[in-house]
Amino acid sequence: MAERSEELSSLRETFVDRVIIPRFTDYRASGQIIEDTLVFEAFRSVDRGLFVPPDTNDYSIYTDSIVLLREGSTISEPGLVSLMMHGLQLTGDGKVLEIGTASGYGAALLSHCAEEVHTIEIDPELGQQAKERLDRLGYSDVVVHIGDGLKGIPAHAPFDSIIVTAGLRKIPKPLIDQLSEGGIIIAPVGANNPHDQDIIQGLKRGKRLQSRVLIEKVSFVCALSPEKGGWTRRSFDMALKRKPERKNSNGKPILEQVTGEISPEELAKTELFLSKMKSLDPISHLIEERIGVLMDQGLNHGQIIEDPELMRLKAEASQISDKISK
């Protein structure tokens, strides 16, 4: 037990050097990014282990991995979050709005880079848990709100920076309206496929955004909202039928495109299959992400397949597959 505790402590202490800085170094090779001391210090100061569910695999906490909170909510890859925070060009002051509180980890990080942080969560239970956690840990400069984040928080606008941690179809007008002149918004946007997005950086000039792609090909949990720019359940389902949802490690789509004439009976079977497959997709995504992390660490095939977290995810995927086949 003591050895395990010491190992986890070592992983925590080396987290920024192993996980965050390499992402900046890799991205900087394209000439688009430089180091960000403020962001690095935020990740050194906030212990990710305090924001994950108690049953999270210990060794996945301090790697560049997604952590599943519950269906439809995750803690994103810390390396990707660090790049998004860098894109906000934070300076330690100003007022920031975060859309998608989840566990509160992102808001805690932002509090080290801004003077005032507002974060909004659509799930009341998650939002309350995050508020209690942040209060307990002493983040008094973070204000947690419950509601549809795509409407923003007009009573506290304008915001100098806005960061969205759920996939959008486009950036909603209320968020643009609530961004201060010269302010920056960062958001994952994908108009046609709910699992295929680019990170967009928008600079407000007048009433419009000057936008550019900051990071290509990411996959965030979709923002379900009736607000223009969000995904409704209907648009989400239609997009999944129109396009393959994603590809597995062999390059084969998990969901096949439905085309041509189809009988009502076959359509009903297809609808049921699509519904069941949605439960498998988050696990498939986590497996792919975990394998990518292990490969980036230079592990060989034997070491990868024996990774405890990967074995757990595969076992969970197997259980879901058994249910789908019934």
Integer Cα distance of 26 and 303 in angstroms: 24
Place of tokens 């394998």: 291
Give the model's pLDDT for residue 252.
Answer: 34
Give the model's pLDDT for residue 15.
Answer: 94
> For each successive 10 residues of the chain (326 residues), what is the average pLDDT?
70 92 78 80 97 87 89 88 96 97 98 98 96 97 96 98 95 97 96 83 94 90 87 72 46 31 46 49 64 62 64 68 52
What's the order of all strands across the beta sheet hosting 95-99?
Answer: 142-146, 116-121, 95-99, 159-164, 179-189, 197-205, 208-218
Mean pLDDT of the chain: 81
User: Greatest CA separation found in the chain?
Assistant: 63
Integer Cα distance of 48 and 105 in angstroms: 7
Give the model's pLDDT for residue 156.
Answer: 98
Note whether 91 and 119 are within 8 A (CB).
no
Q: List all residues 6 or more positions away from 272 whose beta carbon is below 8 Å from its beta carbon.
A: none
Give the model's pLDDT for residue 10.
Answer: 85
| Active site members | 76
Q: For the chain, list the domains and their CATH numbers.
A: 2-228 (3.40.50.150), 244-326 (no CATH)
Look up residue 17 and give its DSSP letter.
I
Q: Per-residue pLDDT tens for 262-297? A: 345 544 544 554 454 455 556 666 666 666 666 656
Stated as kind and residue range, the H or E segment containing 267 is: helix 264-296
Give the model's pLDDT for residue 240.
Answer: 64
Look up residue 32 and give its DSSP letter.
S
What are the φ/ψ torsions at residue 206 (nearest 5 degrees)?
Answer: 70, -125
Report CA-CA distances (Å) from 297 to 26, 29, 79, 95, 301: 14, 18, 14, 37, 12
Give the model's pLDDT for residue 281.
Answer: 55
The verdict on pTM exceeding 0.85 is no
Q: Which residue from 222, 231, 227, 224 is spatially nearest to 188, judged by alpha carbons?
A: 222
